[in-house]
Amino acid sequence: MDRNVLIGGAAGQGMDTVANLFNKVLQRSGYYVYTTSDYRSRVRGGHNFFQIRFSDREISSPRRGLDVIFALNEETLERHLDRLNEGGVSFCDEGIEGFEGTKKYNLVKKAKELGNPKMISTIGLGMLLGKLKIDVKVGEEVVRETFKEGLIEGNIKALDYGYSITKTEVNPIEARESILINGNQAVGLGAAAAGCKFYAAYPMTPSSGVLGFLSSVSDELEIVVDQCEDEVAALNMALGASFAGVRAMTGSSGAGMALMSEAFSLAGIIETPVVIIDVQRPGPATGLPTDTEQADLRFLIHNGHGEFPRKVIALRSAEDAFYQTTRAFNLADKYQIPVILMSDKELADTKISTAPFDFSKIEINRYLADPNDYEPGTYNRYEITDSGVSPRLIPTRANGNMVMVDSDEHDEFGRTSEDAQNRIAQVDKRHRKFEGIIADEEEPWEIGVDDFDTLVVCWGSTYGVVKESIDLLNEKGHKIKGLVFGDVFPLPLKKFKKFHSMAKNYIVVEMNRDGQFEGLIRQEALVASDHLITKYDGRPFYLEELVERLEEVL
């Protein structure tokens, strides 16, 4: 069983409420859930919609075909009615004229009778539960938990009324333990699990969810969260907190990441660890602020003036976002570098049901030097070492030693130095960190079959739709293996070289125009793809769409 529901209307019409309630009901009922949102950059008006796909088997991508449409305005039907599958149903209020075949009910009138016009959302929820054979008792439980006293009983009546219109026999499903979470929340939870104690950011869609989540748990988890005046301040404040001894993080999107470029170089030369999350959206400039893309890769690999090491990790799913965020803090501390996590609007806002995260897997390693190993006056912050990593002490806990940092080129102690030989020594020292960073690389995930003739490569959040597409195509008789890259800089290539040499056909899938990741592989492995499948209209790949495009080149 696999169903796809669209709830659409204008901003301010209550879609968030019905979508969030529906998500919770589905998750508690035991279904796998994959919910995407499409919204415009305005407070009211504009066409917004949620797509809620659910199934009794694991799913990881949005579908194009719709089984049910709940329309709160005419535009929803105008835009999406042609996507309705055969046997699908659409319904709306009787005040919406036209659209033959759409079922119409007195939803607005009934909501007013119940005392609140906004209850049309809850009536719609009841209709969805009835139509899709889901137990209304789970819906009542969620309503009671969600609404404040005084609103509960009215919404229960609205839910039951909607359910009475469409109710059919309930389809039982075995409950399973899961959590409902989106990518931004997973990043924030990973940061908290890693011991992050300072997060500074300026709100910018679609990265604001990380800021909002950490703000919501800041008191409970004793995390200082600062909404700054701009992104320049955000990264500089994070670096200051890290220098003072706590794990620190910042995040932004698009132009906000560009504003951080100078401070990013500062992190490189003062060798202060920091984690940065870039939740990508289409550019250049303001671009499409509420849509998705994977077009910041080249920018982030080369961000900041001068030459210095960094690590770039693309997040592949909400679960991966949690574990990779904790890993990012350890890598930042180990090599005293900035570590960039790459997400995007699709991953950031998509709610999925997934197995609870295993906190017992989380290891926190600060890689700090022991201050007792240094007599007063003997410590050099930028000591030349074979690994390129100098011993790091925390100010005020340095056993009488000075912990000196300097944005100018500096000697081992940290004093400004313009000596040519010292400059070479410090640049080479920092560059030697790459040896360790590369040794700690993680190879890409393998999906598909081992007996293959086609290799499909993707990175980051395209994992879900590529995985489902490959599974469907292999069921049709194709022989496809996939590699899904998380570590994208430095780029691990052992698996790629092995499997590329075995493939007759090599395809890359990504969400940008120019094939930035394909170009990076070509640069590092000296191998060009046979086919490049891209999308850059701001919307994610639908499952049916990617299957069609892969079939075209196969």
In the numeric block, the tokens 């930042």 are attached to 332
Residue 97 CA to residue 94 CA, distance in Å, equals 7
The sign of the CA dihedral 259, 265, 270, 275 is: positive
Tokens describing residue 133: 């054979």
The sign of the CA dihedral 208, 214, 217, 223 is: negative
| Mean pLDDT calculated for residue range 144-172 | 93
SS3 content of the chain, % helix, strand, coil (to 5): 40, 20, 40
Q: So what's the pLDDT on residue 43?
A: 67
Q: Which CATH architecture has domain 2-166?
A: 3-Layer(aba) Sandwich (3.40)
Residue 487 has pLDDT above 70, yes or no: yes
Which of 25, 14, 2, 1 shows the shortest CA–CA distance to 351? 25
Contact 21, 70 (CB under 8 A): no
Tokens describing residue 489: 């800089």
Q: Which helix (H) or strand (E) holds 314?
A: strand 311-314
| Burial status of residue 282 (CB atoms within 10 A of its CB: 0-12, 13-18, 19 or more) | buried
Segments making up each domain of the chain, as ranges: 2-166, 180-361, 368-440, 445-552
pLDDT in tens, 349-388: 999 999 999 999 999 999 999 999 999 999 999 999 999 9
Q: So what's the pLDDT on residue 172?
A: 85
Residue 377 CA to residue 103 CA, distance in Å, equals 81
Residue 38 CA to residue 139 CA, distance in Å, equals 24
Beta-bridge partner residues of 507: 456, 531
| Burial status of residue 264 (CB atoms within 10 A of its CB: 0-12, 13-18, 19 or more) | buried
Tokens describing residue 303: 């961000």
Tokens describing residue 37: 């949102």
Cα dihedral value 290, 201, 191, 324, nearest 10: 50
pLDDT in tens, 221-249: 999 999 999 999 999 999 999 999 999 99
Beta-bridge partner residues of 343: 279
460: left (phi over 0), alpha (psi -120 to 50) or beta: left
Same fold, 180-361 and 445-552: yes
**Banded pLDDT at 12 (limits 50, 70, 90):** confident
pLDDT in tens, 258-293: 999 999 999 999 999 999 999 999 999 999 999 999
Whole-model pTM: value is 0.96
Of 3.40.50.920, 3.30.360.10, 3.90.25.10, 3.40.50.300, which CATH number belongs to 445-552?
3.40.50.920
Q: So what's the pLDDT on residue 283?
A: 96
Question: DSSP letter string over 439-452?
Answer: HT--PPEEEE-SS-
pLDDT in tens, 19-38: 999 999 999 999 999 999 99
Residues of the chain with pLDDT > 90, as a percent, come to: 94
pLDDT in tens, 123-138: 999 999 999 999 999 9
**Banded pLDDT at 40 (limits 50, 70, 90):** confident
Residue 45 has pLDDT above 70, yes or no: no
Domain 180-361 grouped into CATH 3.40.50.1820? no
Q: Which helix (H) or strand (E) holds 397?
A: none
pLDDT in tens, 427-466: 999 999 999 999 999 999 999 999 999 999 999 999 999 9
pLDDT in tens, 164-191: 999 988 988 888 899 999 999 999 999 9
pLDDT in tens, 78-95: 999 999 999 999 999 999
